[in-house]
Amino acid sequence: MSACLRRIIVNRIARSLRRNGEKNVADIEKLEVNLLHLLKVNPVSKNTKSDLPQFLLPGSRLKEIGFVLDKDTIDFEDDVIENCYVDKSNKLQININNKLFIQKVLSTVQRLGKRYGYDVLQLPKKHIVVEYSSPNIAKPFHVGHLHSTILGNFISNLYEALGHKVTRLNYLGDWGTQLSLLILGYKRYGDDVQLNKDPLQHLFEVYVKIHEDVDKEKDSTKHLDKGSYHEGLELFHRLESGDEEITRLWKKFSEISLEEYDKMYKRLNIRFDEIHTESMYNQSTQQLIQSLKQSGLIQTRKDGVGYIDISNDKDSVQAVMNKSDGSTLYLSRDIAAALDRFKKFKFDKIHYVVGNDQYLHFKTLLEVLKKIHPAAWKSVNLSEFLIKFGRVDGISTRKGNVVFLRDILDEARDRVIQSLKDNKLTKITSDYEDVADKLGISSIIIQYLRSRRTSHSTFNWEKMLHFKADSGLFLQYCHARLYSLEKEVDVRIKETIDISYLSEDSAKILVQHLARYPDVVNESFDVFEPYVIVQYLFKLGHLANSAYKHLPVKNQPAVLAETRLVLFNSARQTLANGMRVLGIEPLNQM
Ligand code: ARG
């Protein structure tokens, strides 16, 4: 049952109890909460295709929450609830008035507009930090980073839509031995002209070459004490101690990578409030390690490695904080960063949107944080701290198997152009490329968000760009179609409409589906699962298309056209609200 309907029922019952005057206000309030819950968990007793549900609440359950069944307790004079009575089997029967229900749903969508779906939770406002994207400069931006970017953006959008304050944070990997290998590679194979021309491509070539060198040497003893890897480590020490030449190269790599990433973020319509880097925490991590050594939380092994003991009943576990040469690690930098973020943002919650493969890292991170600063971290749940996601396989572009983000976006755009031409779908002549780019990106976003986030899915270009089947292109197509319907007719949306004109099944089913949206948002928010919204929107698209076929607006008598227009406008509004929260800008034409 939709939240909207539940609320209506409970409101009416409470109102009539108040009118009745037998119960005191606090009791009625308590009863409202309990009744809401009862309606939520109570299965719907009848839900035929177009008939609105009828509800049966067993008398025994009602008694448990202090609601004494009595024929005279509830009187409904008005509206959405047609009647409500205790039947022979001692059950409370609630029957809904179809017409008024439809009226209520449509007027709610019209009244709330962009806020429809996000107006249900009266939660206290919280400050949330969401870390997402977080690519590295020494390794290419890969499909996992794209997943994190899209998912993290969705989670931030959802919090914001629900009225919370969000700090969107990007944490660049710009430190560590990987990076020094890149610097070494650049010294061997780098070329300034190439670097300026296409930085990410060139850095990637260098990355591949230096890793080939390291791999070749792996089997020989050279690897450990001389060899390329060792040379890389030495460079890292020079970087850590501020060597001018190395620092200059490192800075240059960071800057140009970030510039390139910025272009991608703009194209994807992604923004950040804060850009932090691993290197930012180099000093404070050293200081943290020192102070934790003094306080005894970090123990030092004979070889100089420092660790925190996070053993539990079953396993003995050591979280390593520094290497034997004293240098910091990915984990220890993350610890310093988390403590710093807590101090800086005083957040109520922090989420890290990172792939499943780093599960262990984040589990350790949280356990260590709980040891260091229990007051702040004790009650944090790992399943919320880390918003993890599974692998998406099979992305390859025409250029080959190693995929750059830019190539994925370009290829999506080019395929959309082809598909629009093949299907003779588009009427657009100017900014053709721009529209195609947006459509391609919508499809990529949906591809990432359409399944359970932890599932392991496969990337499929054909499926992804199908405009009639469930895809991002399909949603855009539905939106544009509804939009042009509104533009084509010369009727305008009226505030009051006559619902008796919406008697067809396709209209009733569509309204029932619209009524579910606030619940769907809630459900998605509870588990941080965008697929709930995506699947809802697919269905909305199909229902709207079918209503579109059966309920013409053009060349109809004015009242009928006006009423249908309100229905279609409400469908488009709800579709747009869903698309926006997923990170897709709905297009008015394509
Ligand atoms: N840069 C890392 C990587 O690409 C991801 C960072 C995730 N966030 C974090 N706070 N550790 O593997």
Q: How confident is the model at residue 426 (pLDDT cuts 50, 70, 90)?
A: low
User: Residue 354: beta bridge partners?
Assistant: 388
Closest CA to 282 of 170, 175, 171: 175
The β-bridge partners of 531 are: none
Total Cβ atoms within 10 A of residue 262: 13
Q: pLDDT above 70 covers what percent of the chain?
A: 86
**Ligand 1 pocket list (CB less than 6 A):** 131, 134-136, 171, 173, 334, 352, 354
Cβ distance 261 to 202 under 8 Å?
no
Q: Rounded to an integer, what distance in angstroms lies between the CA atom of residue 349 and that of residue 166?
A: 10
Tens-place pLDDT, residues 185-237: 999 999 999 988 888 889 888 988 998 998 888 766 555 567 888 898 889 88
Ranges in the chain annotated CATH 1.10.730.10: 407-582
The pLDDT value given to residue 71: 45
Compute CA distances 183 → 177, 209, 210, 211, whole Å.
10, 12, 9, 12
Question: Which residue among 281, 329, 354 is best mutated to probe the pocket of ligand 1, counting the most ligand atoms within 8 A of its Cβ?
Answer: 354
Q: How far is the CA of 350 from the centre of ligand 1 (A)?
A: 15
* Protein residue closest via CA to atom 10 of ligand 1: 334
pLDDT at 121 over 80: no
Measured CA to CA, the distance from residue 7 to residue 5 in angstroms comes to 5
CATH topology of domain 280-389: Rossmann fold (3.40.50)
Would you call 550 a catalytic residue per the annotation?
A: no
Q: How far is the CA of 331 from the centre of ligand 1 (A)?
A: 10
- Please give the Cα distance from 515 to 239 (Å, whole number): 59
Q: Are 14 and 8 in contact (CB under 8 A)?
A: no
pLDDT band of residue 467 (cuts 50, 70, 90) is confident
Contact 264, 141 (CB under 8 A): yes
- Determine whether 142 is an active site residue: yes
- Domain(s) labelled CATH 3.40.50.620 in the chain stretch across 280-389
Convert the pLDDT of each residue in 280-317 to its tens digit: 998 999 999 999 999 999 999 999 999 999 998 999 99
Distance from the CA of 148 to the center of ligand 1, in angstroms?
A: 10
pLDDT at 48 over 50: no
Å from CA of 173 to ligand 1 middle? 6
Phi and psi at 127, nearest 5°, equal: -105, 120
168 C-alpha vs ligand 1 centroid, how far in Å?
15
Q: Among the atoms of ligand 1, which is closest to the Cα of residue 136? A: 1
- pLDDT at residue 77 greater than cutoff 70: no
Poorest-confidence range of 36-45, 303-312, 350-359, 407-416?
36-45
* 81-86 sheet: strands from edge to edge: 54-58, 91-96, 81-86
Q: Does domain 407-582 have CATH number 1.10.730.10?
A: yes
Q: What is the mean pLDDT of residues 335-348?
A: 97
**pLDDT band at 491, cuts 50/70/90?**
confident
In this structure, are residues 588 and 485 in contact, taking their beta carbons and an 8 Å threshold? no
Catalytic member of 126, 127, 139, 466: 139
Count CB neighbours of 165 within 10 A: 14
Examine the pLDDT at 130 and tell me if it is beyond 90.
yes
CA–CA separation, 468 and 466 (whole Å):
6
Q: How far apart are CA 22 and CA 100, in angstroms?
A: 29
Q: Which of 23, 99, 104, 145 is catalytic?
A: 145
Q: Hey, which of 151, 254, 358, 405 would you mutate to test ligand 1's pocket, going by the most ligand atoms within 8 Å of its Cβ?
A: 358
DSSP per position, 10-72:
HHHHHHHHHHHT-S-HHHHHHHHHHHHHHHHHSPPSB--SSSPPEEEEEHHHHHHTT----TT
Lowest mean pLDDT, pick from 325-334, 486-495, 552-561:
486-495
Tokens of 556: 């109809």
Most trustworthy range by pLDDT among 159-168, 178-187, 491-500, 555-564: 159-168
* Contact (CB, 8 A) for 331 and 316: no
pLDDT of the residue at 485: 94
**179 vs 221: CA distance, rounded Å:** 23
| CA nearest ligand 1 atom 5, residue | 134
**Mean pLDDT, the chain, whole residue set:** 87
Active-site residue flag, 351: no
Taking 90 as the threshold, does the pLDDT of residue 269 lie above it? Answer: yes
Q: Is the pLDDT of residue 402 over 70?
A: no
DSSP-based three-state secondary structure for 304 = coil
Spot the catalytic one: 142, 209, 371, 542.
Answer: 142
Say how many C-beta atoms besides its own lie within 10 A of residue 493's C-beta.
13
Q: Looking at ligand 1, which atom is closest to the CA of residue 337?
A: 10
Name the pLDDT band for 79 (thresholds 50, 70, 90).
low
Q: What is the CA(169)–ligand 1 centre distance, in A?
A: 12
